[in-house]
Structure 1
Amino acid sequence: MIHHSVTLNHSPTMLLIDTATEQGSVCLTHDGHLVSSEWSGALKHVESVLQHIKDLLSEGRVNMADIEVIAFSQGPGSFTGLRAGCGVTQGLALAYDIPVIPVPTLLMLAQQMDYPSVTVLLDARMGQVYGARYQRQGLLWQETLPAGLYEPQSLPQELVDSSVLVGSGADIYQAQLTAVQDKRLPPMVSGIQPHARWLMNYALNEFQQGRTLCADQAIPVYVRDKVALTTLERQQP
């Protein structure tokens, strides 16, 4: 289903793609408007993202040649999902000579919050979480602790020393997190999920600053050691 959203000021024609988790989404900004579309199912990301992009372009009466930049969620996240999103981004960018902007997946979650600082925990499966810490700077966020892979019961204090804790990792492992007595945990906000619309602020700033990449640099950031865990990960969405 296509959703019409906010009216934007001075926005380029951008395609925003998120396939980092089970829930996928794409957005199109054009002529001062943002439209979005979502689906569910990590194993269908490649076929879904292409069809939803086609639908958005048709709805907005936009051609791929009109797209000025493609922003995508680069990870960490689902191995299958990240490969799909980066593959589609790279293919379209190469075919139409469009620059790309990679956006950290965890940043999308921080972007939804109105707090001075945010700790983001994303479920990494296998009893682990991806975690990062962000500090607000105006409408943007400064990464103060880069994404890492952690055991929920062994988070460093510097990671959780923030105003609020969000993400699927916090939702799923809440019992393990709160059971650790030697950690000072911030309040948790549940139900915060990635969505392509939250790529926009970061991508717009990067685009305006001229910080774009070539298509072949649309590569995922896995964080987890792929050599040791690729086989196991591929068995999970």
Structure 2
Amino acid sequence: MKTLLAIDTTTEACSVAIASEGVIFEKFEIAPRLHGELILQMVDDLLQQAKLQLRDIDEFIVNCGPGAFTGIRVGISVVQGLAYAVCKPVIPVNSLQVLANGVQLSLKDTVIEGTHIAVAMDARLNEVYWQCFSIKNDFPVEETTAMVSAVEKVEVPDYGLNAKTCCAGTGWSAYAEKFQQRFNCHFSVNSNCLYPRASWAISLANVQSITAVEAELIMPVYLRDKVAKTTKERNQLR
């Protein structure tokens, strides 16, 4: 069984997890704009807790986005540095799929075969990163591609949003009124499924058997090429 170390800094949350001999060690903290200050100490603390050295890690895992631009860059640069130091490969994961996998792990009693999961992460500027999944063989399978769009342009498959649809991510609460108007329904988001976690990334990598690559090949997934809009673009959103 491989020893894995995962890092997720794509949102306001800062998360590190280690899987060693079937045991998960994890640190998770909501710390906006403090990822750079916290992440390495969290890694050191978990290595001590798991009684491991960095060289004992077989593969690293990093959430490459989408999410906060700065957070994505922090996570990737830290993982690349750690992986380079011990000459180990890195597994890239996607934040939307990590969140969907988190729903499946957190709500095992209610998430069954065929359950639909709608993930929407707040992308600011009246936009969300979003994607829809369904559970098949205890795994979230993509039903739509990962996209960033205005709330008013979010589309879900033909089943729509209903009581059997699990919603995850910060986007649903950030734009709750607009989503309710958009889909003409009320919905709820489990408080445990707002932010992606490093432990969920480990589970995703294990189940999906994602191929590890050399650290230098890890690339960020932004979906959006800029965060600042012109005055004209901002006025068009009003």
| TM beyond 0.5 | yes
Structure 2 counterpart of 1:57, from 41, 44, 47:
47
| Alignment pair present for 1:33 and 2:23 | yes
1:43 corresponding residue in structure 2: 33
Over residues 49-79 of structure 1, what are the superposed CA-to-partner deviations in whole Å (9 max), with x where a residue is unaligned? 1110011101111011110111111110011
2:198 corresponding residue in structure 1: 196
Letter in 1 for 2:220: P
SS of the counterpart of 1:110?
Answer: helix
Residues 1-237 of structure 1: matches in 2 within 5 Å? 11-113=1-103, 114-115=111-112, 116-158=115-157, 161=160, 163-180=165-182, 183=183, 187-191=187-191, 192-193=193-194, 194-206=196-208, 209=209, 211-226=211-226, 229=228
Provide the C-alpha distance between the structure 2 equivalents of 1:15 and 1:157, rounded to a whole number of angstroms: 34
Q: Which moved more, 1:159-168 or 1:103-112?
A: 159-168
Provide the C-alpha distance between the structure 1 equivalents of 2:214 and 2:157, rounded to a whole number of angstroms: 35
Provide the C-alpha distance between the structure 1 equivalents of 2:139 and 2:186, rounded to a whole number of angstroms: 21
Q: Percent identity, please.
A: 30
CA RMSD of aligned residues (A): 2.2
Structure 1-normalised TM-score?
A: 0.83
Provide the C-alpha distance between the structure 2 equivalents of 1:169 and 1:160, rounded to a whole number of angstroms: 20
Provide the C-alpha distance between the structure 2 equivalents of 1:104 and 1:210, rounded to a whole number of angstroms: 11
2:234 corresponding residue in structure 1: none
Over residues 140-192 of structure 1, what are the superposed CA-to-partner deviations in whole Å (9 max), with x where a residue is unaligned? 22122121111112212439836232211011111001112xx3658432422
Q: What residue ranges of structure 2 are gaps of 5+ in the alignment? A: 104-110, 231-238
Structure ranking higher in strand proportion: 1
Letter in 2 for 1:75: G
Flag the 1:219–1:230 CA change in 2: closer, same or farther, 3 A. Answer: farther
Letter in 1 for 2:5: L
Provide the C-alpha distance between the structure 1 equivalents of 2:14 and 2:146, rounded to a whole number of angstroms: 21
SS of the counterpart of 2:92?
Answer: strand
| Deviation of 1:12 (Å) | 1.8
Provide the C-alpha distance between the structure 2 equivalents of 1:126 and 1:28, rounded to a whole number of angstroms: 35
Over residues 122-156 of structure 1, what are the superposed CA-to-partner deviations in whole Å (9 max), with x where a residue is unaligned? 00011111101112122322122121111112212
Q: Which moved more, 1:128-137 or 1:157-166?
A: 157-166
Contact 1:119 1:132 in 2 (8 A): yes
Q: Which runs of 4+ in 1 moved over 4 A?
A: none
